[in-house]
Structure 1
Amino acid sequence: MPPQEITEAVAAIAERDGVTVLKDPYRDDSNGRWIVKIRLSPDDLEPHPDVPRETDWYLHLRDTYPADSIGVYPADQEENTITATFPHQKLNVAGSDDTPWRRGDICVARYGHTLSQTGATGEPSTSRDRLCWHMDRALRWLSNAAKGELREPDEPFEIPAFDTNSASATTIAFNETQESFSDWMTAYGQWGTVNLRSLPTAEETYATGTFKDSDDEVVYQPQWGGYIDSNPDDSVSGAWALLEEVPIEPPWEAPETWEQLDVFFEGTETDPYELRANIKPVLDDEPVKILLIGFPIPATVDGDPEIIYWQPIEIKEFKDPNDLSGGFRDTGKGPEIAERREAGEEQIRWLDSDNWSHEQLTRRGHMTEWFLDRNIVLIGGGALGSMVAENLVRAGCQQLTIIDNDTHEIGNVARHTLTIDEVGGNKATAIADRLESIAPYAQVLDVDSAFPPSGELPEPIREAEVVIDCTASRGVRRALDAIRWNHPVVFCSAAMGRRANRLFCFTAYSHTFPYSDYNEAFDPWRLQEQIEWDEDEDAIPERVGCWHPASVIRTDRVMTWAGTVTRLLDQATALSLRENHFTVLETGSDDDLPTISKATPPFQDGTIWRAPESPITVQIPATCLEAMYDRCRKEHPCETGGILAGTDRLDGPALVVNARDPPRDSIQEPTRFLRGTDKVEEWLKDARESIGIDYLGEWHYHPDASPDISRDDRTAMNEIANDDGYDCPHPLLFIVGQDEEGQFSINAYLFHDSKEYEQLEQIDNPDAASTLNVGDDI
């Protein structure tokens, strides 16, 4: 029994005008579908020799109906059927001996615009309505077929269906564009030879090489990438002939015999039988004998021709004049006479073909046009770099140079585009080979060298119009800063954070990489990353028995950022000369869904303090202040405090990044606080070596009192200023006070080893004062 959904759908179409159910659903085990025989009779059908008043059809429905595709096939070997092929129909040849339908499934859903629809988006999804919708459109398909209105003027041009079932499974890849069309406009009606390069694909595929005319003059030389250019020797000779129009017989059928094809050569310089005789010496000894039939096609139905399309023919064998009945005189015309007498009714063995041109293969999506023919240099073939490079090529970029001197190791496979086959080889070389195998238009060079290469810069680098750095190396960025190009270059330096929860992408348009601008933008983030780094969680031994730390980053996160880099590159084309842009994006933890947002810059919400006499400014972020206030609330009514740690910045205020809680051995009482020393020295040493922050001073809490400095505070801080162990001659002291309403206030003080101190002033504009490192002598 058919599924209930199919039973309901068939009952619904039986009530439709113009639809008659001739046979209830039955199971066809050969294709695993339910078959329904119907008859269609549109009310408005006009007379047409190939469209009977009533036509019988077979519907193909899957078990999953109303999901999946619906087939509508003409009946076979019956009076009430369609045997011709129309536009928007698969090749309507006879089916197999044990099936009562032909193969000409009509396209009622995929070509919605041909039936006064905007597409198949309006197709209903319920079991009763969906099949009715298909039947309504099948009736309209028949009406339009009889009127000759299946093709609308503005719809994409459709290549007729060529019967390739009788030939070998060989495909010809050609490379034709609007630009190459002009090379062929003077060759209509002519013929010649073509070099066909065998490609190492799973199916037998040949790519077109040089086209020559009958006088052995080059007519057209397609420009291929490295994948096809690397196979120049493994080739065969073929032939070509160029028609002046698409070989279509009404209603929409390609020629099936040489006699039918002869019609399309009429009025040209080429006779097809003479052509067969002329190309026999070229093709006779080849393992496959291929003749390309070319014709101009438009982009839309009523448009002007703008590209040459090649449909290949496999010639099984040429005719032998010695086999002619009655004999022949050897006048030189024997081969032509043999072909004319014997080949006319011969079935044409059409082969499959595909246009592998750059503009054709990038129709599904490509980068901004500006990038597609630029010379791009990518430095760093690691996880991020290899994926960025692959994105560039798949998005249409044609000229790429990869620079990397590292070896591809087995550990790289976890998050790299290369495979086990390339382990032990140079990354740049292996990536270049892979990229050329992805796109036939790609020319990818490899430079097995660190950057910059020693000696004179290679030409691909000197001529680079786009330079992408995926090394996360300060040395590479410095090297880029030292090179000056004669022309402006789009620069992109992309790196992931330690956990890959962030992407840092700096783009610029200039004659040299603006290293100082990059550093100014990235420095706060470098510190933020160091602070967040957890060696126990973020690194593991590379392999058992050694301690070579490897970062724990999943490949899906790398893929996300690699795709984002190419998006940001697209945006970089809007940069003006000497303009740059720094973007930081971040996503959630590994357990979260990958939502990405623009990251909030670190340390931007801090309070700035300035010394009234010394040229010193200090910034303390709100996060540190809040950490201090939380500790004060927790220990109230006792005094408390801790260590201030941070960093000196040459181009900005000294930055406090950690207001540490009091050590365990600290004394915390209502009227006294003595900061302990337990593990303080170890913590400071670790912070200095792993994070890059140093001791800057102390913080202290006065419960229910103003944040004024006491004599004991001054004594303690002066001792610290003069203690070489702290290595901080100008320590800071932040005092937190609290009023009667529980509101916190804060004062800041700067001490000197001369036992003097200054109370700092809070300012709004960090640029209002010059800067001096807190640890420097005055």
Structure 2
Amino acid sequence: MAAAPSGAALPDALPEALVTGTEALEHIEGFVPLGPWTPDEQRPRWFQPCQLVLTGGSDLVPTVTPWYLVVSTEYPAGLIRLYPAVDGGLKVTFPHQTDNTHGDAGAPWRRGHPCLDTPLNILDRAVYDTEPYDAAARLAWHVHRGLAWLHAAAHGSLTPDGDPYELPPLPGGGRPGRLLAYNEDETSLQAWLSKSARAGLVQVSDVPDVKGAQFVRGFGQTYRPTWGSALQAVTVERQGVWLRLDRAPVVPPWQLPQTWGELQLAVQAQGIDLFARLCPHLEALRDGQAHLLLLGWPMPQAHGGPLRQMHWQALDLPRLSRGNRVPNGWRPDARGRLMKDRRDALADASPLIWTESSNWNAEELGSRGRLPDPAQRARIAIIGVGALGSAVAEQLARTGAASLLLIDGDQLEAGNLVRHTLTLGDLEHFKAERLAQRLNMSGPHVTVQAINRTFTHHDEDAVAALRECDLIVDCTASDSLLIELRRVRWGDHQAFVSLSLGLRAQRLYCFYAPGPIVPLEDFLDLVGAAVEGDLARFPAHDIPRAGIGCWHPVFPARLDDIALFAATGVKYVEAALMRRLEALQLEIYEQVQDGDRFMGIRRIDGARFD
């Protein structure tokens, strides 16, 4: 290994931990320091120029390349990065590298650092990670991985079969504050692959209350995705144009084009004439407004694996020419107007402005945690959306229950705010309606409907709506409701669940029965026997009132206790949907206390009806 150049001695102010890490670099073959560590005047970090030396290079990766090693002042904690030098460093973007087309203003390096962290690094828990975090090993670990990455880049082996597929990064990070959401899965991919159409018009709309976000409403008559209530309610559309490719349009090895000329060549490499395909569809966009171009290609989940879904990458179309202004010698038609654009707005040297794109398919968005598929597809009714019902509805909606019906005739009162999911702005409005509005905005695939009435068997509309549900969940803790439900013969496919809290939310009572008849007498016998002790433990004179001057008591329960049992109730609802429960059996869950300390929840065996 070449010796460090004269003047590369460590400065006196270098932290001791970084001194220790630097000493470990002396033993790494292929790493050559080119100067001392220098403090960054703009950020809390140190940087050092260096060279990475390979035994054999390639056309895109020379044997010797200059880099900058950048380390947080908190070393061995904080970020460690290897950046290509502006002068003589790598200038293209490879797989497993951030965008390398730009540099930081005033910095001697480009932004494209190799992705050297382990996948579990994002969880920010050292115990999950194989990366060492001691001063003597961490810096050397990153440099070793940098050399391995560079060797794989030189030999074209950065994406072996089985590695997860990664999209090419957007040059410059894309247009800030903008997002295009689409909805694609394996089923829609097969539909795309069966079609001969390569280009057409696309309709996009604004995502309600999300600045800068748009979503794809449809690709003309070619494909129209399904969205939840909040997005389906949007009626204002704008036109754009789409082009379907066979693979990502990249400048080798893995860089999205930066100009219209580069994009034309990248598309041409797939045997597609970019502007010939777009020309007839651009005519609908000559209105003096800005529009989007969506480039789509099929992606595998892993390199070498089967194709799984379409990706739609958005970029801004500049304002196109209008009218009969065309270059000399061209007719004032679609081709002539395109030639005018190719000379001006769409010239080869004109920069591309990429927009971040994201797949809002339900399976993609639910990857962090969702209900099983049968439970997601079920239609669930929740009768009573007070404290417990609103919390159960919220958790079901966010875990993937795409279709909910809420029934409640009460309006939100100020006293409800201490434990309801609604807020001040919802006071004196129907709980069901306002909760439905809130939950419809909780995700792009949620459809929540509301009936602002107390349920009775005479309400033909409510009965008809409930007949469409797979599961009816009672969260009212009301005997009157059960009497009303008992008077209706439901479908054989339907099931009934009751979730009710004991006084002060120390217990949750859960009951399950399949249709078609709600077993009122059985339920009352079981629950009645189980809750007799509530008033013994919490006498009526200890139950709080709504306030001074109010004669009637209110149900005592704190928000955290309700949230605790709401989560338990959702687990029970899931088990009911999956038919994992024994019918006509009461399950009781209670809080376990050791003095004043909460110890957890335990299940008590309830009496069983035979």
TM-score, normalised via structure 1 length = 0.70
Matched residue SS, 2:83: strand
> Which whole-Å CA distance do the structure 1 matches of 2:562 and 2:46 have between them?
46
Q: Note the alpha carbon deviations across 1:220-263, whole angstroms, 9 max, x for none.
A: 11111011012113x21111111122223321112222223224
Matched residue SS, 1:595: strand
| 1:7 positional shift | 3.0
On the 8 A contact 2:371/2:574 being kept in 1, the answer is yes
| 1:347 positional shift | 1.8
| 1:462 positional shift | 0.9
> Which whole-Å CA distance do the structure 2 matches of 1:600 and 1:581 have between them?
9
Matched residue SS, 1:362: helix
Whether 2:427 is the aligned partner of 1:423: answer: yes
| 1:156 positional shift | 2.0
Unaligned runs of 5+ in 2: 1-12, 122-126
Tell me the equivalent position of 2:253.
Answer: 251
Amino acid at match of 1:384: L
Whether 2:161 is the aligned partner of 1:153: answer: yes
Q: Note the alpha carbon deviations across 1:617-649, whole angstroms, 9 max, x for none.
A: xxxxxxxxxxxxxxxxxxxxxxxxxxxxxxxxx
Tell me the equivalent position of 1:207.
Answer: 215
On the 8 A contact 1:375/1:460 being kept in 2, the answer is no
Q: Note the alpha carbon deviations across 1:725-764, whole angstroms, 9 max, x for none.
A: xxxxxxxxxxxxxxxxxxxxxxxxxxxxxxxxxxxxxxxx
Whether 2:250 is the aligned partner of 1:242: answer: no
> Which whole-Å CA distance do the structure 1 matches of 2:456 and 2:271 have between them?
59
Amino acid at match of 1:57: W
On the 8 A contact 2:267/2:274 being kept in 1, the answer is yes
Q: Note the alpha carbon deviations across 1:129-149, whole angstroms, 9 max, x for none.
A: 222222221221111111211
Amino acid at match of 1:506: F
Match of 1:456 among 460, 463, 467: 460
Which shifted more, 414-423 or 104-113? 104-113
> Which whole-Å CA distance do the structure 1 matches of 2:513 and 2:278 have between them?
59
Match of 2:483 among 478, 484, 494: 478
> Which whole-Å CA distance do the structure 2 matches of 1:188 and 1:134 have between them?
48
On the 8 A contact 1:20/1:40 being kept in 2, the answer is yes
Tell me the equivalent position of 1:773.
Answer: none
Relative to structure 1, is the Cα distance of residues 165 and 326 closer, same or farther in structure 2, using a 3 angstrom cutoff? farther
Match of 1:587 among 585, 591, 604: 591
Relative to structure 1, is the Cα distance of residues 332 and 535 closer, same or farther in structure 2, using a 3 angstrom cutoff? closer
Amino acid at match of 2:20: E
Whether 2:528 is the aligned partner of 1:518: answer: no
Match of 1:190 among 171, 186, 198: 198
On the 8 A contact 2:457/2:488 being kept in 1, the answer is no
Match of 1:5 among 7, 13, 17: 17
Tell me the equivalent position of 2:510.
Answer: 505
> Which whole-Å CA distance do the structure 1 matches of 2:505 and 2:130 have between them?
42
> Which whole-Å CA distance do the structure 2 matches of 1:270 and 1:40 have between them?
39
| 1:535 positional shift | 4.7
Tell me the equivalent position of 1:636.
Answer: none
Match of 2:570 among 566, 572, 578: 566
Unaligned runs of 5+ in 1: 114-118, 213-217, 605-650, 652-766, 768-778
| 1:395 positional shift | 0.7
Matches within 5 A, 1:482-497: 482-497=487-502
Relative to structure 1, is the Cα distance of residues 7 and 534 closer, same or farther in structure 2, using a 3 angstrom cutoff? farther
Relative to structure 1, is the Cα distance of residues 493 and 339 closer, same or farther in structure 2, using a 3 angstrom cutoff? same
On the 8 A contact 2:50/2:68 being kept in 1, the answer is yes
TM-score, normalised via structure 2 length = 0.89
Amino acid at match of 1:349: I
> Which whole-Å CA distance do the structure 2 matches of 1:427 and 1:46 have between them?
69
Which shifted more, 379-388 or 196-205? 196-205
On the 8 A contact 1:87/1:252 being kept in 2, the answer is yes
Matches within 5 A, 1:244-323: 244-266=246-268, 271-285=273-287, 287-319=289-321
> Which whole-Å CA distance do the structure 2 matches of 1:337 and 1:120 have between them?
57
Matched residue SS, 1:128: coil
Tell me the equivalent position of 1:57.
Answer: 67
> Which whole-Å CA distance do the structure 2 matches of 1:286 and 1:481 have between them?
63
Matched residue SS, 1:516: helix
> Which whole-Å CA distance do the structure 2 matches of 1:140 and 1:269 have between them?
35
> Which whole-Å CA distance do the structure 2 matches of 1:518 and 1:475 have between them?
13
Q: Note the alpha carbon deviations across 1:490-533, whole angstroms, 9 max, x for none.
A: 32211222111222122233323333332333233211212111
> Which whole-Å CA distance do the structure 1 matches of 2:419 and 2:46 have between them?
45
Tell me the equivalent position of 1:35.
Answer: 47
> Which whole-Å CA distance do the structure 2 matches of 1:332 and 1:281 have between them?
7
On the 8 A contact 2:268/2:274 being kept in 1, the answer is no
Relative to structure 1, is the Cα distance of residues 586 and 41 closer, same or farther in structure 2, using a 3 angstrom cutoff? farther
Q: Count how many residue pairs are aligned between Structure 1 and Structure 2.
A: 589
Matched residue SS, 1:588: strand
Whether 2:468 is the aligned partner of 1:466: answer: no
Tell me the equivalent position of 1:676.
Answer: none
Amino acid at match of 2:240: G
Matched residue SS, 2:526: helix
Tell me the equivalent position of 1:224.
Answer: 227
Amino acid at match of 2:481: V
> Which whole-Å CA distance do the structure 1 matches of 2:601 and 2:17 have between them?
42
> Which whole-Å CA distance do the structure 2 matches of 1:354 and 1:317 have between them?
24
Matches within 5 A, 1:15-164: 15-42=27-54, 45-76=55-86, 78-79=87-88, 81-111=89-119, 121-163=129-171
Whether 2:188 is the aligned partner of 1:180: answer: yes
On the 8 A contact 1:295/1:310 being kept in 2, the answer is yes
On the 8 A contact 1:466/1:489 being kept in 2, the answer is yes
> Which whole-Å CA distance do the structure 2 matches of 1:4 and 1:404 have between them?
65
Relative to structure 1, is the Cα distance of residues 144 and 415 closer, same or farther in structure 2, using a 3 angstrom cutoff? same
| 1:280 positional shift | 3.5
> Which whole-Å CA distance do the structure 1 matches of 2:306 and 2:493 have between them?
39
On the 8 A contact 2:298/2:311 being kept in 1, the answer is yes
Matched residue SS, 2:164: coil
Which shifted more, 324-333 or 441-450? 324-333
> Which whole-Å CA distance do the structure 2 matches of 1:106 and 1:522 have between them?
62
Relative to structure 1, is the Cα distance of residues 63 and 268 closer, same or farther in structure 2, using a 3 angstrom cutoff? closer
> Which whole-Å CA distance do the structure 2 matches of 1:2 and 1:454 have between them?
80
Which shifted more, 15-24 or 556-565? 15-24
Relative to structure 1, is the Cα distance of residues 136 and 515 closer, same or farther in structure 2, using a 3 angstrom cutoff? farther
> Which whole-Å CA distance do the structure 1 matches of 2:379 and 2:233 have between them?
20
Structure number with the bigger relative contact order (C-alpha 8 A, sep ≥ 6) is 2
Tell me the equivalent position of 2:7.
Answer: none
Matched residue SS, 1:559: helix
| 1:541 positional shift | 3.4
| 1:209 positional shift | 1.0
> Which whole-Å CA distance do the structure 1 matches of 2:336 and 2:473 have between them?
64
Amino acid at match of 1:4: E
> Which whole-Å CA distance do the structure 1 matches of 2:479 and 2:257 have between them?
65
| 1:190 positional shift | 1.7
Relative to structure 1, is the Cα distance of residues 187 and 262 closer, same or farther in structure 2, using a 3 angstrom cutoff? farther
